[in-house]
């Protein structure tokens, strides 16, 4: 593992003066160092990876200085459009360091949702004529690589991809910082919904802890997994999958268990209910104000009025977020009576239950169960 302070200082000394991106577990040591040490206007956590590329471009246009954009490789797809049609040499020639956490690196072992992305991680930049450099945990080699990457980016006015394998920029241990800001945990909030809604309700759980928690809640409760879609990858798209299911299954409720960060990542999806008739669709945002699964970095979750946004998009709401079980019970009763697409924000506290096992599942088996249930 590289010394985060030395890595940061090498970047600064090589001309990088601005950092933006989406936190990643493989980069969480570096991301948390930025949170603690970079200035407020020097480091911006973005809503999604394409958003980060755009912010970085704006920084370069304003200053002529080199930005760094960081992300997990699963977010490379979100970044491809602005990298190819804004930063490319045939358009505006924007130099930047593109720092990528390499989940699913071939021959290292990882979960299925990271396998293909890991295989194409070095190929995507190459297709876009972006130089690729692989970072190692050798301090001297890393220092030379950073200097070369920054020189290349500025000289050629192009992005340069710097790819960080597992362990190179991660922290010693993933942060788990529980708080008491709100009474319910995510797991408790999910179980309340399981108790309140009909047994045949379909749930689409977002990437991260929500998928693990509903899976093991079902196990503990002795319930089938046949009504659950676990969105283990494709962050930000659980609500879109749920909408597609709801359109084809009007006779049963379909619930998205979303997170604040995943909802903000592709917030445009919320507008779809304004032009579709889905009274059986319920969009729940479990908001803990943090990128908890990848290091606990603060999100904009508690600064955003999700309910007002949802109402403006055409959802039925209860005009404020829920905090307690009683709040959720009253909200669900009211929203079910509205007979239109419904939205509920539940504010929860941070904190990961340490005893929750990894989600070792058969994706084919789970999706077959769900499809058989829906058939």
Asked whether residue 66 carries a pLDDT value surpassing 90, the answer given is yes
Question: Nearest 5°: phi and psi at 96?
Answer: -165, 155
Say what the pLDDT of residue 296 is.
82
Question: Does the domain spanning 186-374 belong to CATH 3.40.50.970?
Answer: yes
List CB contacts of 51: < 8 A, sequence separation 6 or more: none
Q: Are 205 and 258 in contact (CB under 8 A)?
A: no
Ordered by start, the domain boundaries in the chain are: 4-164, 186-374
> In Å, what is the CA distance from 7 to each residue of 158, 167, 193?
21, 14, 45
pLDDT per residue as tens digits for the range 99-149: 999 999 999 988 889 999 999 999 999 999 999 999 999 999 999 999 999
Structure tokens at 315: 């959802």
Q: What is the mean pLDDT of residues 83-112?
A: 95
pLDDT per residue as tens digits for the range 329-356: 999 999 999 999 999 999 999 887 767 7
Asked whether residue 175 carries a pLDDT value surpassing 90, the answer given is no
Asked whether residue 358 carries a pLDDT value surpassing 90, the answer given is no
pTM over 0.85: yes
Say what the pLDDT of residue 173 is.
60
pLDDT per residue as tens digits for the range 147-170: 999 999 999 999 999 999 999 998
pLDDT per residue as tens digits for the range 233-292: 899 999 999 999 999 999 999 999 999 999 999 999 999 999 999 999 999 999 999 888
How far apart, in Å, do the first and last CA atoms of the chain sit?
A: 49
pLDDT per residue as tens digits for the range 220-242: 999 999 999 999 989 999 999 99
CA–CA separation, 98 vs 371, rounded Å?
Answer: 39
Say what the pLDDT of residue 6 is.
97
* Confidence band of 360 (pLDDT split at 50, 70, 90): confident
Say what the pLDDT of residue 159 is.
98
Superfamily of domain 4-164: Thiamin diphosphate (ThDP)-binding fold, Pyr/PP domains (3.40.50.970)
Q: What is the mean pLDDT of residues 205-223?
A: 94
Number of other CB atoms surrounding residue 137 within 10 Å: 14
Number of other CB atoms surrounding residue 303 within 10 Å: 9
Q: Give Cα 26 to chain centroid, integer Å.
A: 14
Q: What is the mean pLDDT of residues 175-198?
A: 89
pLDDT per residue as tens digits for the range 10-61: 999 999 999 999 999 999 999 999 999 999 899 999 999 999 999 999 999 9
Say what the pLDDT of residue 174 is.
54
* Confidence band of 69 (pLDDT split at 50, 70, 90): very high
Asked whether residue 5 carries a pLDDT value surpassing 90, the answer given is yes
SS3 59: helix
Q: Does 4-164 match 186-374 in CATH topology? A: yes
Q: Are 184 and 323 in contact (CB under 8 A)?
A: yes
CA–CA separation, 106 vs 300, rounded Å?
Answer: 34
């Amino acid at each position: 593992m590289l010394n985060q302070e030395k890595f940061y200082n090498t970047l600064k000394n090589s001309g990088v003066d601005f950092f933006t991106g989406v936190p990643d577990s493989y980069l969480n040591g570096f991301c948390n160092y930025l949170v603690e040490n970079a200035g407020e206007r020097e480091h911006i956590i973005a809503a999604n990876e394409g958003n980060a590329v755009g912010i970085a471009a704006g920084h370069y246009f304003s200053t002529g200085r080199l930005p760094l954009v960081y992300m997990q490789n699963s977010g490379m797809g979100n970044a491809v459009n602005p990298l190819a049609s804004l930063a490319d040499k045939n358009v505006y020639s924007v130099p930047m360091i593109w720092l990528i956490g390499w989940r699913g690196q071939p021959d290292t072992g990882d979960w299925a949702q990271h396998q293909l992305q890991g295989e194409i991680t070095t190929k995507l930049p190459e297709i876009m004529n972006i130089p690729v450099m692989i970072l190692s945990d050798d301090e001297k080699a890393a220092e030379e690589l950073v200097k070369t990457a920054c020189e290349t980016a500025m000289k050629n006015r192009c992005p340069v991809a710097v790819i960080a394998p597992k362990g190179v920029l991660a922290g010693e241990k993933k942060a788990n910082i529980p708080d008491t800001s709100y009474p319910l945990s995510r797991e408790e909030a999910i179980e309340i919904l399981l108790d309140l809604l009909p047994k045949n309700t379909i749930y689409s759980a977002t990437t991260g802890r929500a998928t693990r928690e509903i899976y093991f809640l079902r196990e503990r409760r002795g319930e089938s997994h046949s009504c659950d879609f676990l969105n283990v990858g494709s962050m930000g798209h659980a609500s879109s999958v749920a909408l597609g299911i709801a359109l084809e299954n009007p006779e049963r409720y379909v619930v998205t268990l979303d997170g604040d960060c995943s909802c903000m990542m592709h917030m445009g999806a919320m507008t779809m209910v304004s032009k579709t008739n889905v009274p059986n669709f319920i969009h729940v945002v479990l908001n803990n104000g943090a990128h908890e699964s990848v290091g606990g970095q603060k999100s904009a979750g508690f600064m955003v009025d999700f309910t007002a946004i949802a109402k403006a998009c055409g959802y039925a709401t209860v005009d404020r977020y829920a905090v307690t079980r009683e709040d959720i019970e009253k909200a669900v009763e009211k929203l079910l009576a509205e007979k239109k697409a419904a939205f509920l924000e539940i504010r929860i506290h941070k904190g990961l239950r340490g005893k929750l096992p990894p989600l070792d599942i058969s994706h084919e088996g789970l999706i077959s169960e769900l499809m058989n249930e829906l058939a």
